[in-house]
């Protein structure tokens, strides 16, 4: 499959993408654990069916030390015993924040409260922005049919 667009080759889009990517860098510099960021990115991408992002975040997480077991169980995190309570709260928030049409009301108060028990306001802010960012990138990639499989870890991080 060939991509419909190459964002970086277009002056306007390339400039916008560089700004977006600098936002991701800012998130990486917060106290929100990097493992949590990658797990959330992977789960959002799985829900949205963004193959390019699944490829990228699986490889980035593995490079950062994530185990194959944890990566393989992200899609079934509710039944898996390999995630901490904090990670489970982040994954739940990511799911409800991604499935807004399905959730019929958005993120519930109980889901928010569980996340707030594990993350301070700065981390919650980073988590919410990260979830929103991943949803945006997933949609851009799906619309333009960005291919998956060739991502090299560190290529965009």
pLDDT of the residue at 105: 79
Name the packing angle between helices 85-98 and 121-143 (round to 10°). 50
Look up the domain containing 139 and give its range.
Answer: 34-144
Q: Indicate if the pLDDT at residue 68 is higher than 70.
A: yes
Residue 94 in any domain: the answer is yes
3-state SS, residue 29: coil
Residue 105: which CATH number? 1.20.1290.10
Domain count within the chain: 1
Q: Indicate if the pLDDT at residue 66 is higher than 80.
A: yes
Residue 127 in any domain: the answer is yes
Distance of CA 74 to the CA centre of its chain: 12
Residue 120 in any domain: the answer is yes
Residue 2 in any domain: the answer is no
* pTM for the full predicted model: 0.88
Residue 104 in any domain: the answer is yes
pLDDT of the residue at 80: 98
Residue 129 in any domain: the answer is yes
pLDDT of the residue at 129: 93
């Amino acid at each position: 499959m060939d991509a419909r667009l190459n964002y970086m080759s277009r002056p306007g889009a390339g400039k916008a993408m560089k700004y977006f990517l600098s936002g991701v860098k800012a998130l990486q510099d917060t106290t929100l654990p990097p493992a949590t960021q990658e797990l959330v990115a992977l789960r959002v991408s799985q829900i949205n069916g963004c193959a390019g992002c699944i490829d990228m975040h699986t490889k980035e997480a593995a490079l950062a030390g994530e185990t194959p077991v944890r990566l393989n169980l992200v899609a079934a995190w509710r039944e898996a015993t390999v995630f901490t309570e904090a990670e489970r709260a982040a994954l739940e928030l990511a799911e409800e924040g991604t499935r807004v049409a399905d959730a019929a009301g958005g993120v519930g108060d109980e889901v928010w409260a569980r996340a707030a028990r594990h993350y301070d306001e700065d981390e919650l802010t980073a988590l919410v922005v990260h979830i929103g960012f991943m949803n945006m990138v997933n949609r851009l990639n799906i619309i333009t049919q960005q291919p998956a499989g060739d991502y090299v870890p560190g290529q965009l991080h």
